[in-house]
Structure 1
Amino acid sequence: MTRFNLLFVLFCCISQLSPAGELDPQQHQWHARYIKQPNAPQPEKMLLNTDAEPDLTKGFTSLFNGKDLQGWTPKGGTCTFEVQDGLLVGKCVPGSNSTYLCTDQADFSDFVFTCDMKWRVDGNSGVMFRSRAKPGKNDTVTVFGPQFEMEGFSQDRHWSGGIYGQSCGGYFYPLWLKEHKAARAATKEGKWNRVTISAQGNVVKTWINGVPASHWIDDGSYPRGFFGLQIHKGDKGTVLWKNVRVRRLEP
């Protein structure tokens, strides 16, 4: 390889990892609230997802059979999950801890995951990935790891599509940049919303309804684990899921 070609390759690599940019002025209150979390990134050091959503038509395996909860186990709390008319339905139980319907398979490493999600009753939710569980307080189980945030419509920050570190230090990738404006506007109230996650090596990217959202570099703490559908603790919330699928990637 000539010196010119080597420099060109290095330039391309650096360009792909170039910092994103600038905090959105409308997000200052949320930045002030969350910047002190252990995981919180400095806005000027965040990377942008500029990729098109992966092809979702071929090579996928369904994780939900449309009939029952075979292959899934609830963990963490007593919020309920059931199958209604071919849909997964999660419902908040007041007084319960956050509850996660988790895949029994826990070896998902490199993959493209997708599902469709809709709120019947507004409430915080999300999709855990590469996640794990550990003993919690009072004989409970704590699910922890990265989560594709799906926060509902009760707040004006609009971070659905961001990546939250559930029970492990707060937001890895909040959607607080000017460049996240399209992602913050992508979630549709009262309609189905498509969640897409690509994880390959330490690079994780997300899309919400096909709009690029997060570009997070894991430090190696979460190389593999299970998927989990969250019903967050609170007074209310009913969430529907369908088309829950995964395509494993070669490392």
Structure 2
Amino acid sequence: MKRHLFSAILLLTGIAAAEPEKLFSSANLDGWKTQGAAYWSFSDGVLTGQSDDKKQNSVLWSEKSYKDFTVECEFRFSGDIDSGIFLRHENEQIQIGVSRSLKRDLTGSPYIGSKRGYPQEASGVKEVLKQGDWNRMKIVAKGHTYTVTLNGKQVIEYVSDTAKESGPLGFQVHPGVKMKIEFRNVTVEPLE
């Protein structure tokens, strides 16, 4: 009853609750462009990044730019992978999997370009990360602050002094590793 009343009030006042935007809905990846190897495909609601024996770099970039936003997704992988989600440009990323440079899993940690690396590591990831199963990640990018929640647990809040005001989102297959990562239910919601 309260929910219906709240919805009616929003409609009467002309305020509409924003619905998160689904980022992937067609097999031809409309609205996205690949930088590097053509390792990305979308089928049956799942975005897959899978490298081959050449182990090249591949980033799938949104053609749209985002300012302050919440991006949510589920991801699944098994074995040795190095992936992540770029936030507004190629030097700001939330890691998924094993860092090539540090040789350990840094899922949920921010990677801030080659000069800064991982300035702060996510905590409590080992207790909640499910290898080989679907994991839910929520990233809130508000100004210079990135807050990451993994499977319902906040694992980091990081303030970047190099964050851009706006830019695209990107999904990565890192070079130098033969890997496969899957994403589904990927949404983005602009923040007011």
TM bin, normalised by shorter chain, reads 0.7 to 0.9
**Alpha-carbon offset, residue 220 of structure 1:** 4.7
Q: 1:153, 1:199 → 2: CA distance?
A: 22
5 Å-filtered alignment, 1:1-251, equals 59-75=19-35, 77-106=36-65, 108-119=66-77, 122-131=80-89, 144-151=90-97, 157-167=104-114, 169-175=116-122, 180=123, 182-250=124-192
SS at match of 2:61: strand
* Secondary structure of 2:125 counterpart: helix
Counterpart Cα distance in 1 of 2:112 and 2:70? 19
| Equivalent-residue separation in structure 2 for 1:83 and 1:195 (angstroms) | 19
CA pair 129-221 structure 1, distance change in 2 beyond 3 A: closer
CA contact (8 A) 2:88 2:167 kept: yes
* Pair 1:168–1:100, CA change in 2 (3 A): farther
Percent identity between the two aligned chains: 27
Deviations 1:86-127 (A, max 9, x none): 211111133344211110112x11111111111156411111
Conserved? CA contact 1:92–1:231, under 8 Å = yes
Deviation at 1:183, TM superposition (A): 2.5
Residues 229 and 150 (structure 1), Cα distance of their counterparts in 2 relative to 1, 3 Å cut: same
Q: Which runs of 5+ in 2 are unaligned?
A: 1-16
The match for 2:9 is: none
Deviation string, structure 1 residues 46-78 (Cα, Å, up to 9, x no partner)? xxxxxxxxxxx9621111114331111111x21
**Offset at 1:157?**
4.0
Moved more, 64-73 or 214-223: 214-223
Provide closer, same or farther for how the CA distance between residues 215 and 153 of structure 1 changes in structure 2, counting only shifts above 3 A: closer
8 Å contact from structure 1 (residues 164, 174) kept in 2: no
- Quick one: distance in 2 between partners of 1:109 and 1:236? 33
1:236/1:211 CA distance change after superposition, 3 Å: same
Q: What is the one-letter code of the residue matched to 2:111?
A: Y
Kindly tell me: are residues 220 and 158 of structure 1, through their superposed partners in 2, closer, same or farther at Cα, counting changes over 3 Å? Answer: closer
CA separation in 1, counterparts of 2:169 and 2:112?
14
1:130 CA displacement: 1.4
State the structure with more CA Rg. 1
Task: Mark the CA change 1:151 to 1:82 in structure 2 (over 3 Å): closer, same or farther.
Answer: same
User: What is the root-mean-square deviation of aligned Cα atoms in Å?
Assistant: 2.5
- Partners of 1:239 and 1:117 lie apart in 2 by 7
1:214-249 deviation line (CA, Å, top 9, x unaligned): 211122542221111111112410111111101101
